[in-house]
Structure 1
C-alpha cells in the first residue's frame, strides 16, 4: 500500500446513519501527500470521477471520538516493552466493560519517561466500523482515534471539529465537547484549531499514525502478491533438480547394466572351459546344471528329492524324520520313525509315486518304534 493515493474517512458517531444529512461522513482524497478533493457522504467515487480507488491506495478510517477512550499511562520504572504491556492492561482494567468485550491498542512510544497512550474501544464497535467499510467496498489500512488528529497542547486544551463532533485534547486527556464539564477541565485555557491543521495531521497519519487500531485481532490481513519472476525461478530450479536426479538414476542404471554385462562375459568365458559351445550365461547355466544333475550333484539333485521326502512325511502325521544327510555322490539318506510299520510304508509309497527311487532297511529302536533307513535318488 502507498500513501501516494489515499482516502481518509471521518465517521460520525452513528455510522449506520452516515448517509443521513444530520450525520454525514467526511471524506478527503489525497494524492502525493496533498489534499485534492473533499466532501461529505458516501459518494466519494462519483465526486472524484473514478469508478474505484487505485489498487495501492491507502484508506485511513477515523472513528467517532466518543466511542474511543484514550488513556495516558506511564510506567517509568519498567522497560519500554513491559511498560507498554502494563499500560494496556491498566487501561483495560480501568474500563467499565469486561476486558473480553474491549480492544486496546498502544502507541509506539519508546521513551520510558513519557506516558504511553492507550486507545480502548469495544470489540463490537470495531467490528461495526470494519463491516461498514466493507459494505462500501473498503478495507481500511489504518484506523486512528479522532482526538489524536489534534496537536498535543503544552498546557490546557486544544479544540477542533472532526466529522460531526467538537473534540478537545489536553496534555493527558481527550473528550468530546459535550463531556467537557467544568469539573473536568476547570478554567484551563482552550485554543481552537483550524480545520486545515486537522487535515494536515490526518494526511501525515497515512505514513506515521500516532496509534493504529488495526493491530492484534483486528490487524489487516495482507494478501501477498505472487512474484512471477520468483515463481519462474522456483520452477526452473525445480526442473533442473529433477533433471539432475533423473540423470543420476540413469547413470546408475547404465553402470549396473555395464557391470552385469561384464559379469556375464566373464561367466561365459569360464563356462566355455567346460562347455565350449556355450554362447551366453543363461544357456551355460542350464547346461551346467544338467550335467551336475546327471552326476548326482548340483542344487537340483538335493533340493528336489528332499522336497519330495518332506512332502510325503508331512502327509503322514504318525511318521517322524529323525535324520537327513547327503552323500558325496548325491544320494539322500534319511531315517524315518513311526509307531507302526504301515505308517512308514505310506511315506515310502508316496515318495515312489512322486518319481523317486528309494531303498529302505527296517529296524527297531530300544523304545519299540519301527525305524527305516532309506535312500532317495532322482
Structure 2
C-alpha cells in the first residue's frame, strides 16, 4: 500500500498501536516552541508560528522533504497562524497585540488588526457575496473583532464573557472558547451576535475548540485529559458526549492527567486527532465512539497539530508547553515539527457506522 513516505506494510495498520517510524522532521524548525500549525488548502505549504516571534512557511514535497520558503517576524511571541482559502495569504497574531497578513506572491507583510491585549487567535473566513476574505481575531481583551483587509478599522466587535483562549471557523460556523469555560457559537451569516452560548461540559479549563468538517458541531479539549463532542443544534443534543484521553493508567488512587493541546479533523473522513502534554496523539471516530489509533510518546509535549488538505500528512509540533511550570523547562527539551504520513486505514472511520 503506497504511502506518502514510501510503502507501508498492511500489518502496520492491523492493530490500534500506530507507527511513528516513517515520521520526518522538517528542516530548520523554529528556535522556540511552535504555537500553531496550518497547511494551505491550495498546496502543501505549512505555516508555523512560534514563541521565537517568527512565522515560517515551508514547502513540503511528496517525499516528505521540507524547504523553507519564507519567514517574517512579529514584535513578540506569535500564537496563531492561518491561511486564506486561495492559499495566497497567511495571517498571524500574538502577544504584540496585532495581527499581520503576509502576501505570499509579493512577500509583503502588513499589520491588519489590533487589540488592547494579546491576540490569541486569528482566522480567515469568507462570507457569501463578500468578494474578499475576512478576518476574525480573538483576544485576551475579551473581544472578537471582524476585519475587512481593505480597511484599517474593524467592521465589527463582539464582547465575550472572558478572555478568548481558542477559536475555530468552518464555513459559516465560528466557535469561541474563553476563560471560565464559556463556549460561544456564532453563525457568520449573522456575525454580530452569539447564536448560542454554553458552558463547556468539561469541568476544567478549555484548551481548544475545533469544528467538525461538516460544520454541524465541534470538539472541545480541556486541560484535564478530556474531550467533548458537541452538536450545534438542540435536535442533535442526544449525540453529545465526552470521553477521557491523554491519561496514564491509574496507580493506586492517583491518575496522571494531561492537557489536550490540540484537536484536528481529517478533511476527508471527518475523523479527528487529539494531541497532548503527554507527548502522544490519537485518531478517533466520533460517530463510532471509537479510538482508531494511538501512537507512542514522541519525547515531549505536542503543542499543535494539523492535516494537509488531502489528508495525507498529519503535522505535529513537539516542544515545551509550560504544563509543568518554569522549573521543568530546560535547554535539552525537544523542539521540532514532525510530518506523519497518513497511511492505509489510520484515519478511516469504522465501516460499520453510517456517516452523517
After TM superposition, the score normalised by the length of structure 1 is 0.20
Higher Cα radius of gyration = 1
Q: What is the TM-score with the length of structure 2 in the denominator?
A: 0.20
Question: Higher RCO, 1 or 2 (CA under 8 Å, sep at least 6)?
Answer: 2
Greater helix content: 1
